[in-house]
Amino acid sequence: MKNEYEKTDSVCIRVEDVGKSFGKKQVLYDISINVNYSQILGLLGPSGSGKTTLVKIIAGVDNATRGNVFMLGEKMPKLSAMGNIGYMAQSDALFGELTAEENLRFFAALYGLKGLKRKNQINEVMEIVGLTDDLKKQVKKYSGGMKRRLSLAAALIHKPRVLILDEPTVGIDPVLRKSIWNELYNLKKEDSTIIVTTHVMDEALNCDNLGMIRDGRIIAIGTPEELLEATSSETLEGAFLYYGGKTE
Interface residues with other proteins (CB under 8 A) are 56, 59-63, 77-80, 82-83, 85, 87, 89-98, 102, 105-107, 109-112, 138, 154
Minimum CB separation from other proteins for residue 233, in Å?
36
Minimum CB separation from other proteins for residue 111, in Å?
6
Pairing of strands 11-22, 25-36: antiparallel
Nearest-5° Cα angle at 162, 155 to 19: 100
Of 69 and 228, which has the nearer Cβ to other proteins?
Answer: 69
Of 29 and 106, which has the nearer Cβ to other proteins?
Answer: 106
Minimum CB separation from other proteins for residue 133, in Å?
20
Minimum CB separation from other proteins for residue 126, in Å?
18
Half-sphere exposure of 126 (CA within 13 A, CB side): 21
Of 52 and 206, which has the nearer Cβ to other proteins?
Answer: 52
Of 61 and 201, which has the nearer Cβ to other proteins?
Answer: 61
174 sits in which H/E element = helix 174-189
Minimum CB separation from other proteins for residue 175, in Å?
27
Cβ pair 40, 194 in contact under 8 A:
yes
Cβ pair 65, 19 in contact under 8 A:
yes
Minimum CB separation from other proteins for residue 112, in Å?
7
86: β partners: 163
Task: Give CA–CA dist 114/26, Å, rounded.
Answer: 42
Closest to 50 measured CA to CA, from 195, 174, 188, 218: 218
Q: 3-state class of 14 per DSSP?
A: strand
Of 156 and 221, which has the nearer Cβ to other proteins?
Answer: 156
